[in-house]
Amino acid sequence: MYKSLSDRLTGIFDRLKGRGTLSEEDVNTALREIRIALLEADVALPVVKEFIEQAKEKAIGQELVKSINPAQMVIKIVNDQLIHALGNEPEAINLNAPSPMVMLMVGLQGSGKTTTSAKLAKLLSTRFRKNVLLASLDVYRPAAQLQLETLAKQTDIPSLPIIDGEKPLAITKRAIETAKVQNIDVIILDTAGRLHIDDELMNELKSIKTLSNPIETFLVADSLTGQDAVNIAKSFHDAIGVTSIVLTRADGDGRGGAALSMRHVTGCPIKFLGMGERVDQLEIFDPHRVASRILDMGDIVALVERAAALSETQDQEKLAKKLEKGHFDLNDMAKQLEGMQKMGGLSSMLGFLPGIGKIKDKLDGAGLDDNLVRRQLGIIRSMTKQERRAPNILNGSRRKRIALGSGVQVMEVNRLLKQFEQMQTMFKRMGKMGQKGFMRQGLGAMMRGM
Ligand SMILES: Nc1nc2c(ncn2[C@@H]2O[C@H](COP(=O)(O)OP(=O)(O)OP(=O)(O)O)[C@@H](O)[C@H]2O)c(=O)[nH]1
Ligand SMILES: [Mg+2]
Note the pLDDT tens digit of each residue in 174-194: 999 999 999 999 999 999 988
- Mean pLDDT over 145-152 rounds to 97
**What does the chain come to in residues?**
450
C-alpha 221 – ligand 1 centre gap (Å): 10
Best residue among 114, 145, 218, 245 to mutate for probing ligand 1's pocket (most ligand atoms within 8 Å of CB) is: 114
Tell which wins on pLDDT, 273 or 70: 273
Structural Rg of the chain based on CA atoms: 30
Q: Reduce the DSSP state of residue 62 to 3 states and report it.
A: coil
Q: Is the per-residue pLDDT at 69 higher than 80?
A: no
Closest ligand to residue 224's CA:
1
Tell which wins on pLDDT, 282 or 325: 282
* Predicted pLDDT of residue 445: 44
**Position 372, amino acid:** L
* Predicted pLDDT of residue 444: 45
- Mean pLDDT over 124-132 rounds to 94
C-alpha 222 – ligand 1 centre gap (Å): 9
In angstroms, the CA 45 to CA 228 distance is 10
Residue 422 burial (CB count, 10 A): 13
Tell which wins on pLDDT, 275 or 307: 275
Domains annotated on the chain, with CATH? 2-89 (1.20.120.140), 101-285 (3.40.50.300), 315-449 (1.10.260.30)
* Predicted pLDDT of residue 158: 97
* Predicted pLDDT of residue 32: 85
Which range (30-34, 82-86, 283-287) has the least confidence? 30-34
In angstroms, the CA 210 to CA 213 distance is 5
C-alpha 114 – ligand 1 centre gap (Å): 7
Residues above pLDDT 70, as percent of the chain = 75
Best residue among 277, 278, 284 to mutate for probing ligand 1's pocket (most ligand atoms within 8 Å of CB) is: 277
Q: Is the per-residue pLDDT at 324 higher than 70?
A: no
> Ligand 1: which residues within 6 Å by Cβ?
107, 109-115, 138, 141, 144, 193, 248-249, 251, 274-277
- Mean pLDDT over 134-146 rounds to 95
Q: Which residues 6+ apart lie within 8 Å of 186 measured at CB?
A: 95, 99, 100, 101, 102, 103, 121, 124, 130, 131, 132, 133
In angstroms, the CA 47 to CA 259 distance is 11
Closest ligand to residue 201's CA:
1
Cα 132 off chain centre by: 32
C-alpha 96 – ligand 1 centre gap (Å): 28
Atom of ligand 1 nearest to the CA of 109: 25
C-alpha 449 – ligand 2 centre gap (Å): 63
Tell which wins on pLDDT, 335 or 416: 416
* Predicted pLDDT of residue 355: 42
- Mean pLDDT over 305-312 rounds to 62
Average pLDDT, the chain: 82
Q: Is the per-residue pLDDT at 437 higher than 50?
A: no
* Predicted pLDDT of residue 316: 58
Q: Is the per-residue pLDDT at 23 higher than 70?
A: yes
Best residue among 248, 273, 285 to mutate for probing ligand 1's pocket (most ligand atoms within 8 Å of CB) is: 248
Burial 386-408 (b: 16+ CB within 10 A, else e): ebbeebeebeeeebebbbeebeb
pLDDT by residue (tens digit) across 411-432? 999 999 998 888 777 777 766 6
pLDDT by residue (tens digit) across 190-242? 999 887 778 888 999 999 999 999 999 999 999 988 888 888 899 999 999 99
- Mean pLDDT over 314-322 rounds to 62
Nearest CA to ligand 1 atom 21: 110
Return the bridge partners of 247, or none. Answer: 221, 273
Q: Reduce the DSSP state of residue 112 to 3 states and report it.
A: coil
Q: Is the per-residue pLDDT at 347 higher than 60?
A: no
C-alpha 146 – ligand 2 centre gap (Å): 10
pLDDT-derived band at 304 (thresholds 50, 70, 90) equals low
* Predicted pLDDT of residue 443: 45
C-alpha 117 – ligand 2 centre gap (Å): 9
pTM of the shown model:
0.69
